[in-house]
Structures are given as structure tokens and as C-alpha cells.
């Protein structure tokens, strides 16, 4: 084999490896902090899911939501711009692994996800699992939903999906790409209830004007987090520090209340997102 041919084949192999292993290229090119500063932006995964992320239908801009406010604040701390990148809850992990986004807020740190991405030690906030159900559907406990004929809408590949699969196997679980599609199924009467954590349901109930929000017993309350690429210790430490400052300083709760107020909801009548206030 000639030197020129060997060199060409080596180049082709390297290109193929780079395409197949974006994480390797990422590691060689520097971590998220360096890349964000070189690019001039922090790429935040977003999906239409008030109060976490909300796109203004008039301008098409991601203008409000806890995740939007948090992303803008972290970007400012790095001296870069906030760059929203649309994903779904089901594709966010792949987007991180493929170096399409740098962070996705409101991702629960499940053991399965922790095999593919990293999570900071500091929780982002706390919330309770709830359902928005038909007014005439008797719901007090999860057992009331675990019945044949009960149709429950839920975002696919979410922690809510996992919980329902384990705790309401007798119900008909309808899986959708995101919060909006699951809520739309309930609104159209194709589902008897939609299962999400309570904050997004407050916004949905306000918009629909019907249905009842129930936190079924036994209550399922847990922390949510932010997902980042694996093996990026510097960026993980930065995110952990920022989350701790936001939470301990009350900023996370403030962003949440600001969104509720802008959405026409009374923050005092809504469950808080700080564990100490639940």
C-alpha cells in the first residue's frame, strides 16, 4: 500500500470516527465552558412546557419560564448569549450526547438517565406528581386511576411515564412527544386525565378552564435537576454552584412566581417549588 493511499484511508477512518463519536470530538475540542465562550452562546434545550419553558406565539421567541430565566442567567454568568434549541423530553438526552445542546433543565436525575448524562448534586427545585382529570372522574389515590378503561395522557420517556407504567399498569397509558400534546389529548376528550408534575398543570388548568388538579395519594414529591454531558467536571461544577445560589437565595422560587403572575395565576394559591415551603 502506498503512503498516499494509507494516508487517505487514515483520514477517511478518522472522519468516520468523528461522525460516530461526537463525544470524543467534544472532549478533544475542550469542555462545555470553553466551547460556549468560543461560540459566544450557551445552548439550552427548550420545549413548550409552561412554567418551565414558554414560547411567545407572536414573536416565536422563548420569552418566559423558569428554564428560560435560569438559562439566561447562566449564560450571563459566562458572558455569553442564551441560545434556545428546541428538543422534546424524549430527545434531550440524545441532543446532549450529540453536542447539540449544553444543558437541559427540569430533567429528573433517574438512574437510567445517569448512565448517559451527568446531574449536579444540588437539586434545581422540588415538585409533586399530579393529574388534571375530568371533573366527574373520582380520583383521590393512584389506585383510583389504576383501572381498565381509564385513559391517562403523559409525555413519552419522562419520569411521569415511568411512574405510571409502574403504578397504573391496568390503565390505558397514552404517550405523547411533550406536555402540549398530552394536554391537547385531554382537552379533546381522548384522555380522562393528564399526568404531569403540578406546576405545568396549573398553567394548563388556567388555559382550559375545566378539569380538576389532584395530587393522588400516596403523594409522589421529588427533586428535579439539570442534565449535562457526561465527564465534563468543570461545567458540572459550574452548574452545581449556580443552582445552589439560585435555590438558597430564593431566586428559583421568584422566577417560578413571576411566571405564574404573568400567566394570570396567584402564586399564593399555588404549591411552591422549594422543599422547605411544601
Burial 65-77 (b: 16+ CB within 10 A, else e): bbbbbbbbebbee
Architecture of domain 127-221: 3-Layer(aba) Sandwich (3.40)
pLDDT digits (tens, 9 = 90+) for 120-143: 999 999 999 999 999 999 999 999
Q: What is the pLDDT along the chain (278 residues), one digit of tens a residue?
A: 443 443 344 343 433 433 444 444 444 467 999 999 999 999 999 999 999 999 999 999 999 999 999 999 999 999 999 999 999 999 999 999 999 999 999 999 999 999 999 999 999 999 999 999 999 999 999 999 999 999 999 999 999 999 999 999 999 999 999 999 999 999 999 999 999 999 999 989 998 999 999 999 998 999 999 999 999 999 999 999 999 999 999 999 999 999 999 988 888 878 889 988 86
H helices of the chain, where?
3-20, 22-28, 32-39, 66-78, 92-97, 111-114, 159-167, 179-187, 198-208, 233-248, 251-262
At the top level of CATH, the class of 3-125+224-277 is alpha beta
Instruction: Tell me the residue length of the chain.
Output: 278
For residue 255, the model assigns a pLDDT of 98
Examine domains 3-125+224-277 and 127-221 and report if their fold is the same.
Answer: yes
Q: Estimate to the nearest angstrom the gap between the alpha carbon of 166 and the chain centroid.
A: 21
Residue the block writes with cell 465527564 = 231
For residue 3, the model assigns a pLDDT of 36
pLDDT digits (tens, 9 = 90+) for 213-240: 999 999 899 999 999 999 999 999 999 9
The pTM of this model reads: 0.79
Going from N- to C-terminal start, the domains of the chain cover: 3-125+224-277, 127-221
Instruction: Name all contacts of 118-122 with Cβ < 8 Å and 24+ positions apart.
Output: 118/227, 118/228, 118/229, 118/230, 118/231, 118/232, 118/236, 119/225, 119/226, 119/227, 119/228, 120/225, 120/226, 120/228, 120/236, 120/239, 120/240, 120/243, 121/240, 122/240, 122/243, 122/244, 122/247
Amino acid at each position: 500500500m502506498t503512503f498516499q493511499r494509507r494516508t487517505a484511508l487514515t483520514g477517511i477512518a478518522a472522519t468516520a470516527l468523528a461522525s460516530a463519536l461526537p463525544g470524543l470530538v467534544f472532549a478533544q475540542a475542550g469542555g462545555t465552558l470553553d466551547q460556549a465562550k468560543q461560540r459566544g452562546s450557551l445552548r439550552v434545550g427548550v420545549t413548550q412546557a409552561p412554567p418551565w419553558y414558554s414560547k411567545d406565539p407572536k414573536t416565536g421567541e422563548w420569552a418566559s419560564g423558569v428554564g428560560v430565566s435560569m438559562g439566561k442567567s447562566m449564560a450571563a454568568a459566562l458572558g455569553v448569549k442564551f441560545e434556545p434549541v428546541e428538543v422534546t423530553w424524549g430527545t434531550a438526552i440524545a441532543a446532549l450526547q450529540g453536542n447539540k445542546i449544553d444543558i437541559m433543565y427540569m430533567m429528573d436525575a433517574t438512574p437510567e438517565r445517569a448512565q448517559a448524562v451527568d446531574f449536579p448534586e444540588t437539586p434545581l427545585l422540588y415538585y409533586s406528581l399530579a393529574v388534571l382529570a375530568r371533573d366527574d372522574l373520582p380520583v383521590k389515590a393512584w389506585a383510583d386511576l389504576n383501572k381498565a378503561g381509564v385513559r391517562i395522557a403523559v409525555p413519552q420517556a419522562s419520569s411521569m411515564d415511568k411512574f405510571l407504567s409502574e403504578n397504573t399498569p391496568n390503565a390505558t397509558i397514552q404517550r405523547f412527544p411533550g406536555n402540549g400534546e398530552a394536554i391537547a389529548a385531554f382537552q379533546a376528550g381522548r384522555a380522562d386525565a393528564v399526568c404531569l408534575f403540578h406546576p405545568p398543570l396549573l398553567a394548563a388548568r388556567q388555559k382550559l378552564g375545566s378539569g380538576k388538579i389532584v395530587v393522588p395519594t400516596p403523594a409522589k414529591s421529588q427533586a428535579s435537576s439539570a442534565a449535562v454531558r457526561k465527564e465534563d467536571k468543570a461545567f458540572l461544577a459550574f452548574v452545581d454552584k449556580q443552582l445552589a445560589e439560585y435555590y438558597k437565595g430564593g431566586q428559583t422560587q421568584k422566577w417560578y412566581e413571576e411566571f405564574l403572575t404573568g400567566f394570570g395565576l396567584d402564586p399564593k394559591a399555588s404549591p411552591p417549588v422549594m422543599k422547605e415551603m411544601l
